[in-house]
Amino acid sequence: MKDSLDWLLGDLGNLRHVGHQWHTTRSWLRQNQWADCRLNDIRRALKSYLWFLRTASADTSTFDRAFWSRSEGWAERYWDFVNSASGFSAGPNQKSAFGSDHVSLAADTARELVCTGVPRRLWSWRDYLLWY
């Protein structure tokens, strides 16, 4: 970085070879990962960038509404990627950005941009088995 105007964004997760056997386990999928770990890397990069934008925005509630309603290009790009990579629709039909109060909308946005795992309370009994 040359000066204080340069930024370095990243996700400091675990790195494994694309063909590593971990990527085929239920534990991997339970952590909300896609089978192609390269897509997960792109998703994490997008999440890091959007989290930076949200944190830097003057009004996070405006950011949250734009994020869930796909009313800005950056939001549409994120949801288009998630929909195309996962094979299912997870965009504005999933959540009504204008029908939610600010607190729950903020929590949902934070969860979407930061979390990559499925909460333990949503696991089935088989999910506790590590390598099946």
Instruction: Specify if 28 maps to a domain.
Output: no
Residue 71 is assigned to a structural domain of this protein: yes
In terms of C-beta distances under 8 Å and separation of at least 24 residues, what long-range contacts does 108-114 make, across chains too?
Answer: 108/64, 108/68, 109/54, 109/60, 109/63, 109/64, 109/67, 109/68, 112/47, 112/67, 113/47, 113/50, 113/51, 113/54, 114/47, 114/51
Does any domain span residue 64?
Answer: yes
Task: Determine, yes or no, domain membership for 90.
Answer: yes
The domain tally of the chain equals 1
Residue 87 maps to a domain: yes
pTM: 0.62
- pLDDT digit of tens for each residue in the chain (132 aa)? 566 777 766 665 656 677 777 777 777 776 666 767 778 778 888 888 888 889 899 998 899 999 999 999 999 998 888 888 765 544 444 444 444 566 677 777 777 776 655 455 555 555 555 544
Residue 53 included in any domain: yes
Extract the tokens encoding 119: 């909460």
